[in-house]
């Protein structure tokens, strides 16, 4: 198999299998003691009491997730003792797992079924034989720029040691300003915590928007929330070139590919991590974006497995290879599956749908599957609808609107992705949609999905149901929409009717729009010509839909603005509204 192939990996079992003879213990060595590695270790013990299980971890902590670090830094998690849920001694007592911390992998000898490791405390090396091995080393911040500056001013934010180093540095040096390199999932996790720690935060993203996994308009909503909280946003700077001390040596100067620069008291590198694959490459394993594995997490060597951020798996929507650098749940499940396969319980990994949830100050944003823009980039021609709906019954106190988009196949309605932004109820609904996607459901299924209801938790028609109804209407031909990004082509071609109240119309409306409130539309149809299609819109889309149905059943050609004026304004679309 060529290293650049995107075909699924097929592993041929060796004739001798490399397995111990009868009566010998199977020797399982796991490299990495975080999410994937430890889930594999304890699953392996539950399946086989007699195996020798050794875990090699280069750091001082085990059984931790790097998700904790930003929250502990900001004080949401008060005690660092919650960082690691187990200790080497605890794992030895409970699971008879031999955990060796401060020990790092040096090399892999596949021919000898052996690895060389180094104890970092004593600087001694020794060999360990294995029958089966699981690689779970995780990933490093991409291109961590350490040149020309002492390391104490540039930090990743992944491990307990990173957390403690940042906290100590900020307090010791009375820091006031931090630059975060990276505006995707990893970077945004750090923003709020560093902000709540009392630092002025600036985020630098090499690309043209934050949160590139979201559609641009959803990313704009997230960016506006950050700006509202005083976070500086710098987009399109290109990659960081160098970091150097300023003349007084108290601050950092960060220089970017576009020639611009920023200064700060410290830098947090939160660019999307790169899998630690060098040892795998040196050992001759097949590596592309990550270590290539089959459905059972086996590498090109059937006695070596790879799980977590280091493994290249298949996206369950695009069926293309990817690495899952920020998904703790996926790492945990993959570790279990690797252990299952080693001990003859073969369960195939179904792939990853990329389900994420963010907390950004007062907003929660979540995504599963692929965004509309991503789908188009890989050759899909998806349809999508965007709805706004209260997170619970509107008459119950503290109801707030959430914005939900579903993407689906035009012909079948099969779900391809979903995005939600709101204040509460976002996480549960994205999980419903992730489950629906994994089950191969369609927008037609969402329309009548039975979900729990109490007024303080949801609506009689849940936002998930409403999104299904709008999508179903679209596919049945009961609705025609224009997406905000396509509006420019219609502004001067179609009559545009704003069906909100006159008061709301005067506060701001689309250029060239005329106002016919929804309750007056039937009596004023004669004012609308039938020679051209008519574009209607309301604040969130519902009254626009009512106007659309009235018009088409009265002999007009019409379309409704998807997501209404709310999506147009919140999502940063142009042109700007006209105010009377």
Beta strands (DSSP E) in 185-245 are 200-205, 232-235, 240-245
566 CB-side CA count, 13 A = 18
247: confidence class by pLDDT, cuts 50, 70, 90: low
Q: Tell me: the pLDDT tens digits for 400-446?
A: 999 999 999 999 999 999 999 999 999 999 999 999 999 999 999 99
> What's the sign of the alpha-carbon dihedral 368, 373, 379, 382?
positive
Could you say which DSSP state residue 20 is in? P
Report d(CA 206, CA 187) in Å as an integer: 12
The rounded distance, in Å, linking the Cα atoms of 8 and 320 is 9
Buried b (16+ CB within 10 A) or exposed e, 450-464: ebeeeeebbbeebbb
Q: Characterise 429 by phi-psi region: left (phi > 0), alpha (psi -120 to 50), beta (else).
A: alpha
pLDDT at res. 243 = 80
Domains of the chain: 27-139+276-342 (3.50.50.60), 151-269 (3.50.50.60), 362-476 (3.50.50.60), 481-570 (3.40.250.10)
3-state SS, residue 382? coil
H/E element, 374? helix 372-377
Question: Which element (helix H / strand E) includes 93?
Answer: helix 88-95
Dmax (CA) of the chain: 91
3-state class of 353 per DSSP?
A: coil
CB 375 within 8 A of CB 417: yes
What's the mean pLDDT in 195-220? Answer: 93
* pTM for the whole structure: 0.90
Helix (H, G, I), strand (E, B) or coil at 340: helix
Each residue's pLDDT tens digit, 519-552: 999 999 999 999 999 999 999 999 999 999 999 9
Rounded CA-CA distance 487/307 in Å is 45
Decide: 162 and 69 in contact? Cβ < 8 Å: yes
pLDDT tens for each residue of 151-203: 678 888 777 778 888 888 988 999 999 999 999 888 888 898 889 888 999 99
Backbone φ, ψ for residue 35 (5° rounding):
-60, -65
pLDDT above 90 as % of the chain: 68
Give the Cα separation of 118 and 123 in Å (integer). Answer: 6
For 21-56, how does the pLDDT look when each residue is reduced to its tens digit (9 = 90+)? 555 799 999 999 988 999 999 999 999 999 999 999
Backbone angles phi, psi at 415, to 5 degrees: -70, 135
Query: Any bridge partners for residue 232, and if so which?
Result: 202
């Amino acid at each position: 198999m060529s290293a650049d192939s995107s075909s699924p990996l097929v592993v041929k079992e060796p004739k001798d299998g490399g397995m111990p003879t009868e009566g010998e213990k199977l020797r399982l060595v796991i490299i990495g003691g975080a999410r994937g590695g430890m889930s594999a270790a304890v699953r392996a013990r539950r399946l086989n009491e007699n195996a020798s299980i050794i875990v090699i971890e280069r750091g001082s902590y085990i059984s931790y997730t790097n998700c904790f670090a930003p929250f502990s830094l900001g004080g949401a998690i008060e005690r660092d003792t919650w960082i690691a849920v187990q200790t080497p001694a605890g794992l030895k007592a409970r699971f008879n797992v031999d955990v060796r911390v401060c020990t790092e992998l040096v090399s892999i000898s596949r021919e000898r079924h052996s690895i060389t490791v180094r104890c970092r405390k004593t600087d001694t090396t020794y060999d360990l034989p294995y029958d089966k091995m699981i690689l779970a080393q995780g990933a490093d911040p991409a291109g961590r720029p350490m040149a020309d500056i002492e390391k104490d001013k540039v930090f990743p934010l992944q491990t307990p040691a990173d957390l403690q180093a940042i906290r100590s540095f900020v307090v010791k040096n009375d820091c006031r300003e931090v630059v975060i390199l990276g505006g995707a999932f990893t970077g945004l996790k750090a923003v709020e915590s560093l902000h709540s720690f009392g630092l002025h935060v600036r985020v630098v993203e090499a690309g043209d928007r934050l949160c590139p996994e979201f559609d641009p308009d959803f990313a704009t909503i997230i960016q506006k929330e950050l700006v509202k909280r005083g976070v500086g946003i710098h987009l399109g700077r290109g990659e960081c070139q160098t970091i150097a001390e300023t003349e007084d040596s108290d601050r950092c100067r960060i220089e970017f590919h576009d020639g611009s620069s920023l200064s700060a008291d410290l830098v947090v590198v939160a660019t999307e991590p790169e899998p630690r694959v060098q040892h795998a490459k040196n050992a001759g394993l097949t590596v592309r974006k990550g270590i290539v594995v089959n459905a059972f997490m086996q590498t090109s060597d059937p006695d070596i497995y790879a799980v977590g951020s280091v493994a290249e798996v298949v996206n369950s929507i695009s069926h293309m290879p990817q690495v899952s650098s920020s998904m703790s749940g996926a790492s945990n499940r993959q570790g279990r599956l690797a252990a299952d396969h080693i001990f003859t319980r073969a369960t195939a990994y179904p792939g990853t749908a990329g389900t994420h949830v963010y907390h950004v100050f007062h907003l929660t944003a979540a995504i599963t599957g692929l965004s509309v823009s991503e789908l188009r980039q890989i050759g899909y021609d998806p349809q999508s609808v965007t709805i706004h709906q209260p997170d619970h019954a509107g008459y119950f106190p503290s109801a707030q609107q959430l914005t939900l988009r579903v993407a689906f196949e035009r012909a079948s309605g099969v779900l391809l992705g979903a995005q939600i932004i709101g204040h509460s109820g976002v996480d549960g609904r994205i999980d419903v949609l992730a489950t629906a996607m994994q089950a191969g459901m369609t927008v037609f299924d969402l329309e009548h999905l039975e979900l729990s209801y109490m007024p303080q938790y949801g609506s009689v028609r849940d936002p998930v149901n409403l999104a299904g109804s709008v999508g179903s209407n679209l596919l049945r031909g009961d609705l025609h929409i224009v997406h905000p990004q396509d509006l420019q082509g219609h502004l001067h071609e179609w009559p545009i009717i704003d069906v909100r109240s006159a008061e709301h119309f005067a506060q701001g409306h689309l250029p060239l729009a005329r106002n016919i409130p929804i309750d007056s539309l039937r009596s004023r149809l004669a004012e609308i010509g039938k020679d051209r299609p008519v574009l209607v819109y309301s604040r969130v889309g519902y009254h626009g839909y009512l106007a659309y149905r009235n018009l088409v059943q009265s002999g007009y050609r019409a379309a409704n603005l998807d997501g209404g004026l709310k999506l147009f304004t919140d999502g940063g679309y142009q042109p700007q509204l006209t105010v009377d």
